Structure 1
Amino acid sequence: MGWTLGQLRTFVTVAELGSMTRAAEQLGYSIGAVSQHMSALRRAVGSELFLRRGRGMVLAEAGRTLLPRARSILAAQKQAEMAMLGRDFRSEAIVTLGVFGSASTRALPSIVRLLGQRHPHIEVRAREINVETMSAAVIDGAIDLGIGINYPAVPLPPMRGLSWSTVAGEDFGIVVPAGAPRPSPQDLAEADWILPPAEELFGRAMRLATSALGIAAKETHIVTDTAVALALAGTGLGLTLATPIMMSLGGPDVGLHPIAEAGGREIIVLTSPDPADPVAAVAEVVAEVFRPRMGP
């Protein structure tokens, strides 16, 4: 096929950023040049590489097939360049890891450190993804693997092109201002509650968790951002639920009272069903970083 390294590099950048405009800014090209690269590559492949979704772009089936191979070609090209410079360079692989707020705060430094010790030839690049769309990002090829969440009360359905494994489990607890006593059942029933939107998986899981406590939670504040919800709870504006890992987004003003009756969540690692060796190596490191936190 008559593609060039420049076209492949542009394709990978567009795939990772989901926008030709943003790709042009990062590469220092004009939007017209990026569009020409993509048109030429589409003709060489013989299939559409991207589909429009809203204002952004997602990979079509041919694009999902090409993306990991394009990354391998570009890594091999870099290896050849460095070998010609006389450097001792065994191999290099770049793996894009999807993360969300509490996972990146709590675990990402340990993942990068352990990966550097075990697999110094693998470079991991973090990309923040809404945890609600982490599965789609893996399936679409926007990331190589992702750290995601599964709620046993609202389990993820099987998805074609996706595989996952559970690496940690943790129970919900009630978030209160630091030093405040554990709320009584009456307190729980009468309190204002800070909950995520009901249309989100987390929102549905939270509502099932409060129902398991035997209450109909008074939904006073609807908040998507966990850090904001913790901040509101710390000022006494309401109660919310969180896990120990989620509490890493809070500060000294909040405390957590474990309450197993409310259920919990699982940290999962999402990959394609047959990940490349570097992706599998990163997945193994992610699992090791999280597994010590698993309950019995």
Structure 2
Amino acid sequence: MAWTLGQLQTFVSVAERGSMTRAAEALGYSIGAVSQHMSALRRTIGSELVHRRGRSLVLTEAGRTLLPRAKAILAAQQQAETAMLGRDFGHEAIVTLGVFGSTSTFALPAIVRRLAQRHPDIAVRAREVNVETMSAAVIDGAIDLGIGIDYPAVPLPPMRGLHWQTVAAEDFGVVTPKGAALPGPDDLAEADWILPPAPDLFGRAMRLATSAMGIQAKETHIVTDTAVALALAGTGLGLTLATPIMMSLGGGDIDLHPITGAGGREIIVLTAPAPSAPVAAVAEVVAEVFA
């Protein structure tokens, strides 16, 4: 069928907002342009996609059938754009590496340097990816391989189409302002804590870690960004947990106090089960840098 991505995008926006006017505002189009897209798509499909119910537009049976498929087409197009972004086809091989905050600061410069020395024909392109969606990004082909996190206390489930290798393991410690002593058990229980959101894997792992320390952490500040959590800890607004690599996101105004039995995290390299030779070469370098 001779529809366009623009028509499908307009249709999805109308379907989600129930109004051509609201869809036009969201897309930055004129109402006339939205109407033209919808009319052209209706002619291509050969059936009405929406009908009016009161002041809103609702999907017909044809519209309900098309909507999830239109979203899938648009998502695939976005993945293709992401995969191609920044590619330099003058190199023999370009490998896209998914990274997140602390790995970018701690390991990426060393990975790029070592790869240039050992495999000058391979160029690596870093893409920041939410660590919670790193596995999906590898499986979907948005990145060639990714540096991810597995928490032994909250282990990742096996996923078809994904292979991972543990390249480093590190324990949680308590972060305090520079020069401050590690509080005793009673003070740890009474202290304000800076924790990530509970639904995240990181948040669940942190709460299990504080439970393993024998305390019910007082969740005073809920912060997603590790660098922000470390900065707040440095000002004395509360305690948080971190690992040595995570500390690379902080400044010189914090200390990490090792603790026993609170668990930690593993750094993993995520690839397809049978990666290409260039991807395997980058994975090997990543493992060496973390080792």
Do both share a fold (TM > 0.5)?
A: yes
Asked whether 1:156 is paired with 2:148, we answer: no
Seen in structure 2, the aligned counterparts of structure 1 residues 58 and 208 have a Cα distance that, compared at 3 Å, is: farther
Given the two structures, how large is their TM-score scaled by the length of structure 1? 0.70
Deviations 1:70-110 (A, max 9, x none): 99xx97xx55xxxxxxxxxxx61000000001000010000
For structure 2, the residue ranges without an aligned partner over 5 or more in a row are 1-68
| 1:258 aligned partner | 258
Q: Which amino acid aligns with 2:211?
A: S
Matching residue of 1:38? none
What is residue 119 of structure 1 aligned with on the other side? 119
- Aligned-partner residue type, residue 211 of structure 1: S
Percent identity for Structure 1 against Structure 2: 76
Q: 1: distance between equivalents of 2:263 and 2:257?
A: 13
Q: CA deviation at 1:59?
A: 6.7
How far apart, CA to CA, are the structure 1 residues paired with 2:76 and 2:260?
40
* 1:188 match: 188
State the partner residue of 1:52: 71
Q: Which residue of structure 2 lines up, in the alignment, with residue 18 of structure 1?
A: none
For the residues of structure 2 that align with 1:280 and 1:267, how far apart are their CA atoms?
17
Residue 145 of structure 2 is matched in structure 1 by 145
Give the Å deviation of 1:182.
1.1
Checking the alignment, whether the CA contact within 8 Å between 1:148 and 1:268 is kept in structure 2 is yes
Q: Distance in 2 between matches of 1:56 and 1:132?
A: 22
Q: SS at the partner of 1:182?
A: coil
Structure 2 SS opposite 1:260: coil
1:55-94 alignment, distance < 5 Å: 57-58=75-76, 78=89, 92-94=92-94
Q: Give the match for residue 221 of structure 1.
A: 221
| Letter matched to residue 52 of structure 1 | K
Residue equivalent to 1:280 = 280
CA gap of 1:179–1:123, structure 2 versus 1, over 3 A, is same
Aligned in 2, Cα 1:201/1:229: closer, same or farther, shift over 3 Å? same
Distance 1:159 1:177, change over 3 A: same
2:205 aligned with 1:205, yes or no?
Answer: yes
SS state at 1:237 partner: coil
**1:103-162, Cα deviation, whole Å (9 max, x unpaired):** 000100000000001100000000000111111110111000000000000000000111
**How far did residue 57 of structure 1 move?**
1.9
Per-residue displacement from partner, 1:221-261 (whole Å, max 9, x unpaired)? 00000000001111111110000000000001111001131
Task: Give how far 1:187 is off.
Answer: 1.1
In structure 1, the residue corresponding to 2:261 is in which secondary structure?
A: helix
Letter in 1 for 2:176: V
Q: Which runs of 5+ in 1 are unaligned?
A: 1-49, 80-90, 292-296
Normalising by structure 2, report the TM-score: 0.72
- What letter corresponds to residue 125 of structure 1 in structure 2? R
2:15 counterpart residue number: none
Paired residue secondary structure (2:71): strand
Give the 3 Å change call, closer, same or farther, for CA 122–94 of structure 1 in structure 2. same
Structure-2 separation of matches of 1:263 and 1:176? 18
